[in-house]
Structure 1
C-alpha cells in the first residue's frame, strides 16, 4: 500500500469513527498536523534503522477524538519522512495508534464524580502498529474532575508487544486552554512510561529497563485574535522527548518541532 493510499484510508477511518459519536449526540473532532522537527540524530528514532541526516524529520499527522454515550475514542496516524545520514537515501515511516475506552460510571448512570475527583472511570485499550512493531494493551482508565474545557486523565495497562512480550505501561495525558490577554493558547500532551525486558540477551548489567515518551505541545490560536473562527488553526511547537534505558544501553532524544494544526471538523 502506498503512503497516499494509507492517508486516504486513515481519513475514511476517522469519518467512520466519528459517525457513532454523531448518532449518539457525542462530541467529535478531527485535525491534521504538519510538523518539522530537528535534533532527531539518534538511530533509535527510526527504530534502529539509522541516523537521520541533519537530524531533521517531517511528519504529517491525522488526529481524531470522539465521545459516545458510554466512552470515548482517540486515534492518530503518522506519516514521517527524512533522509539517512549514512548514504542520503530516503527514510519513510507510517505509524498508527487507537485508544478506545468504556466508562463503567456511564453504564451505571453515576452522575457525581467518584470520591469527588474522578469524573469518568472504566476500561481502557490501546493498539499500536508501525513498521516492524506492534503493541496491544488493556487496562483501566480514568478522567479527573477539572474545570470546563480542561482534560486530565490517566490510563494504566497490561502491555504485550513484539519486542518485550509481557509488560506494563502508564499514560497520563492533559489539555489546558488558557489566554494571554485576548490571545488563546493550548497546552496539551501525554507521557507514556513502559517497562522493557532484555528478552534476546543483547545487553548486560540488567534484564529490565524503562522507556519514556512525551510530546507536549504549546499552541496559539492563529485566527481568533483577528476575528476568525476560534479553534480552527493553531501554530506553535511540539517537543519530542524520548528516553530509552535497557542494561548498558541508554539514549535520550530531545527534539523541538515547529507545528501547524488545522481542525478539519
Structure 2
C-alpha cells in the first residue's frame, strides 16, 4: 500500500492546482533543476538530483513546494519533498503590518516528506525589505519529527540578483539551523546557488535558464554528530 509521503505529494499537487487557492493568486513561478555532485555524505558520495519547484504569492500569503528525486551512482533512488505555506497576519487581521524593515508577518508551516518519514513544522515568519535583494525571509519553527526527538529550527531564505556587464546573475539559497536534543546534534545546512542567466543572454528567453554552481555546507548532517558535508555541484535550472 502506498505510504503517507505518496499521499502527501498527491494532496500537495491538488492544493497547488486548486481554483480556490489560485483565485487570489498574485504571482507564481515554477522551475526544473538538474544537479550533479560527488561529495555527498551519508550514503553514496556521487548523486544526480532532479528538482521541481513551485512558488506562488496570494492575497492571503505565499506557498513554496519542491520535490527532489536523487539517483546515486550505486543505484540507490530517493525522493524527498517539502510544502511550506505562510498565511499573512495583515490579511487575517485586516491591519497593515508593513513597517520599515518588515514587509509582513506570517503564520508559517512546513511539511517534510519522504518514503521513510513525515515531519511537521509550525511557527511564525517575517518577510524583510533589504536593499537590492529580491526577497529575504526568516521563519522560526517548532518541529514535530517522526524519527528523532522534536526540536526547534530557524530558516532563512534570500535571493540577490546582480549584473556583471550585460550578464545577469542571481545568488540565492537557504540556511536551516536546528537545535540539539538528547538523540541528535545541532544541525546547520547552508546551501546556496550562484548562477548565470544563460537563457536570456544567449537565446533571449523570457524566463531564466540558469547555469551555475550549488554549494552545500552541512554541519552534523541529519543531526549526526561529526558528519559534515562540503559539496559543490554543477547545476542547470530552467524556469517556466
Q: What per-residue deviation string (whole Å, max 9, x for no partner) do you get for residues 140-194 of structure 1? A: 0110023476100100001110233321000011011111111110111000011
Q: What per-residue deviation string (whole Å, max 9, x for no partner) do you get for residues 200-225 of structure 1? A: xxxxxxxx630111220001000222
- Could you tell which deviates more after superposition, 139-148 or 124-133? 139-148
Residue 122 (structure 2) aligns with: 138
Equivalent pair of 1:74/1:100 in contact (CA under 8 Å): yes
Which stretches in structure 1 are left out of the alignment for 5+ residues? 44-50, 85-89, 200-207
SS for the counterpart of 1:123 is strand
1:139 CA displacement: 0.3
User: Quick check: 1:35 aligned with 2:25?
Assistant: no
User: Quick check: 1:153 aligned with 2:153?
Assistant: no
Residue 81 (structure 2) aligns with: 96
Equivalent pair of 2:185/2:224 in contact (CA under 8 Å): no
Residue 205 (structure 1) aligns with: none
Residue 216 (structure 2) aligns with: 240
User: Quick check: 1:188 aligned with 2:178?
Assistant: no
* In structure 1, distance between residues paired with 2:211 and 2:193: 10
- Could you tell which deviates more after superposition, 73-82 or 209-218? 209-218
Residue 204 (structure 2) aligns with: 228
- Could you tell which deviates more after superposition, 174-183 or 129-138? 129-138
Equivalent pair of 2:196/2:211 in contact (CA under 8 Å): yes
Residue 76 (structure 1) aligns with: 66
* In structure 2, distance between residues paired with 1:134 and 1:124: 17
Cα distance change of structure 1 residues 140 and 29 upon mapping to structure 2, 3 Å threshold:
same
- Could you tell which deviates more after superposition, 223-232 or 92-101? 223-232
Q: TM-score normalised to the size of structure 2?
A: 0.87
1:16 CA displacement: 5.0
Alignment: residue pair count: 235
Identify the match of residue 93 of structure 2 among 93, 97, 108.
108
Equivalent pair of 1:20/1:68 in contact (CA under 8 Å): no
SS for the counterpart of 1:163 is coil
* In structure 2, distance between residues paired with 1:121 and 1:74: 16
Residue 46 (structure 1) aligns with: none
CA RMSD after TM alignment: 2.7
Cα distance change of structure 1 residues 37 and 227 upon mapping to structure 2, 3 Å threshold:
closer
Equivalent pair of 2:125/2:137 in contact (CA under 8 Å): yes
SS for the counterpart of 1:209 is coil
* In structure 1, distance between residues paired with 2:223 and 2:108: 30
Equivalent pair of 2:221/2:229 in contact (CA under 8 Å): no
